[in-house]
Structure 1
Amino acid sequence: MKIVHVVYNMEMGGAEMLVAQLCRMQRGNGHQVEVCAYDKLGALGAVLREEGFTVHVLGEAPVPRTMLRYLKLFRRLRPDVVHCHNPAPTLQAAMGARLAGVECVLATRHSLVSPPYDRAGEIKFSTWSWLWLDWVAGICEVTCENLRAAPLARREKVVRVYNGTSAINRVPVERVADEFRLLFVGRLAKIKDLGTLIRAVALAAERVPRLRLDVVGDGPVRGELEALARELGAAERIRFHGQQMETARFFSGADVFAMSSVSEGLPMSLLQAMSLGLPAVLTDVGGMREVMDLSRSGLLAPVGDAAALAEAIVRLADDEALRAEFSRRAVATYQAEFTLERMDAEYMRLYRTVGNRA
């Protein structure tokens, strides 16, 4: 089977990491896999090229020209499947794929509808784009609910495919005695609200003196976050590591995984943490609650509530038995629900099951 994944770019991000892992697994299973990026190659795109994948880069252009470029590309490549990831690539590529005679065209929505609600944008996605699609996959049930609730949505096309990821392999890491280490992995953007986590760390440190936070990732608000850590007197406890291609040593050195997002689908970094048995402290939002309801492997706090997040951190720091139970549950749920193999099998079933066209 020839499969083309269509993305905005292949910079470091959860959706892009998922696409890269899916490409590797599908090629390993004997399929011919290529990637097409609209904006630019990106760090992950460069890695895929080094691994022998063909990664096309269209380059920015007005929408009509971009749609024509996709049509020409698909007529030349003649794929069996075009798999679009997120709204913009779907709007740009889905019609061209269908007009080029592609047998199966589907899209994955990798996030929730972020506030504020963009009614016009969601109407374009759920009416124009969906005309050309066989399936629209949501990465968790909350994302599927968002998709079904969009104006004029074709609800029968919506299916849930939980994100999956390769397991993190534990590596040897030197630890300072008595340290309690939190880990955040993700893009440093406003929607992640990492400021709330930093405030929580400053509060919790009064009762957990050896508390530390490792922040792995980069983004537009990094300077603000570093300034906040200094302002709160927590700079020595919080280390910003920037973007990292290899993250196993950070997961291996952590005691708890933490996220304080205000909107979230099903973050890949959370699933990676679960694969290694890390308990979680999370905000009660989106797919993160769904994962915690399934696994019972962490604690939830209200969005923006640094004091509640700090209490959750302290509770886990003080209760080794609870951490051990959460760790066991995390691994079991990852293996049952969130492996890369399970996700790939579900997508392959959709690729082969065509019948929901307009």
Structure 2
Amino acid sequence: MKIVHVVYSMEMGGAEMLVAQLSRLQQKKGHDVTVCAYSKLGILGERLIEDGINTHVMGEAHPAKTVLRYLRLFRKMRPDVVHCHNPAPTLQAALGARLAGASCVLATRHSLVSPPYDTAAEIKFNLVARCLDWIVGICDITCNNLRGAPLARLDQIVRVYNGAAPVQTSASVLRDDNFFTLLFVGRVAAIKDLGTLLKAVSIAHTKEPRLRLWIVGDGPVRASLESIARDLHLSDVVTFWGEQMQTERFFNAADAVAMSSTSEGLPMSLLQGMSLGLPAVVTAVGGMKEIVDLSGGGLMSPVGDPATMAGSILRLIEDPVLRAQLGTNASETYRTEFTLEQMESAYARLYRSGRRPLTDDERP
């Protein structure tokens, strides 16, 4: 099949990493894959080009002009499948894909889409969704929220769990068994509420001085978080590693994954940690709650509650039997539900179905 993925950019981010991994696997399976970014190529786009995947930037323009650009591109390319990722790329490309005769046009909503809805934005999306065959939610709660949005087409919505390539087990020069290492990997943005995680680490560190936290990623609130860490006297406890293309050494040196988001879909870093059998300490929101409930692979705390999160961290440190069991649960559930191959197979079934209703056996 000739498959086109449409994204806003290919800068570092969870959805962008997923698109990159999915594109590589689809290419490996013999498909002709193209990635179209509206805004910026980004480091992930550069790597896709190095891997021989056609990746290019459409260029920012007036919305109507962007729609026409995609229509011309698709009429030239004649893709079988146009796969849009998130609302803006869907608004830009779905109509052109349908008019150009693509046999399957679908959109994946990678964010949680929590109520209260942005009513105008959801109405606009669901009007354009008339051009789509499928709207994919990346977890059950995302699908439920999509169904409650204004003008939603219930028969279009289907769940495909995110999948992630496994982190390869290897020795890491960063590992030090004298410490218990919590790892956050992701965009350093306000919605991640890393201030709560820093406060939790501060509380737990007073009882367990072996604790340390690594924050791998960059973003708009990094400077303020570094200031909070200094104010909490955590300069020797917390390391801000910045954006890293190769994160395997961090996962292999960690003892647990930690996320304190106020809203979250299904983060790639959580799945990567699960692939290595790392337990998770997370807030009970969105896809994270769904996955921890499903797997039994972590401990949860309410949003914005550093004291409860600190208690979860201390439980992991003080109870190696619990830690091992949670890790085993995580790795087993990753293998049965969240591999990259399972996600690719689910999308392939949607691609082949076009507008035909799925049978129970075909449904992801």
TM-score normalized with structure 1 length: 0.98
SS of the residue corresponding to residue 219 of structure 1 reads coil
Alignment of structure 1 residues 17-166 onto 2, 5 Å: 17-113=17-113, 117-126=117-126, 128-166=127-165
CA contact (8 A) 1:188 1:222 kept: yes
Q: Which amino acid aligns with 1:167?
A: P
How far did 1:56 drift?
2.1
Deviation at 1:356, TM superposition (A): 5.8
Of 151-160 and 115-124, more deviation after overlay is shown by 115-124
Q: Aligned partners of 2:146 and 2:235: how far apart in 1?
A: 41
Partner-residue secondary structure (3-state), 1:206? helix
Deviation at 1:344, TM superposition (A): 0.3
- Is residue 9 of structure 1 aligned with residue 6 of structure 2? no
Q: Check if 1:305 corresponds to 2:305.
A: yes
Q: Which runs of 5+ in 1 are unaligned?
A: none
1:211 match: 211
RMSD: 1.1
Q: Are the equivalent residues in 1 in contact too, given 2:133–2:355 (CA < 8 A)?
A: yes
Map residues 271-286 of structure 1 onto 2, 5 A cutoff.
271-286=271-286
The alignment covers a number of residue pairs equal to 356
**Separation in 1 of the partners of 2:130 and 2:117?**
22
Does the aligned pair in 1 maintain the 2:114–2:145 contact within 8 Å?
A: no
Letter in 2 for 1:130: A
Q: Which runs of 5+ in 2 are unaligned?
A: 358-364
The CA distance in 1 between the partners of 2:39 and 2:114, in whole Å, is 21
> Residue 332 of structure 2 aligns to a residue in which SS?
helix
Once the two structures are superposed, what CA deviation does each residue of 1:2-30 show, in whole Å capped at 9, x if it has no partner?
00000000000000000000001001011
SS at match of 1:102: coil
TM-score, length-normalised on structure 2?
0.96
SS at match of 1:233: coil
1:200-225 alpha-carbon deviations (Å, 9 max, x no partner): 00000011111000000000000000
Counterparts of 1:198-277 in structure 2, within 5 Å, are 198-277=198-277
Describe the superposition over 1:127-175 as per-residue Cα deviations: whole angstroms up to 9, x where unpaired.
Answer: x221100000000001101110111100100000000010001221243
TM-superposed deviation, 1:176: 3.0
| Alpha-carbon distance, 1:119 to partner | 0.9
Using the alignment, how far apart are the partners of 2:340 and 2:247 within structure 1? Answer: 17
How much has 1:318 moved relative to structure 2?
A: 0.2
> What amino acid sits opposite 1:160 in the alignment?
R
Q: Deviations over 1:177-218 (max 9, x none)?
A: 421100000000000001100010000001111100000000
Pairing 1:327–2:335 present: no
How much identity, in percent, do the aligned residues show?
A: 62
Question: Aligned equivalents of 1:73 and 1:303: distance in 2?
Answer: 44
Deviations 1:270-301 (A, max 9, x none): 00000000000000000001101110011000
Distance in 2 (alpha carbons) for counterparts of 1:75 and 1:205: 59
1:117 shift after superposition:
3.0
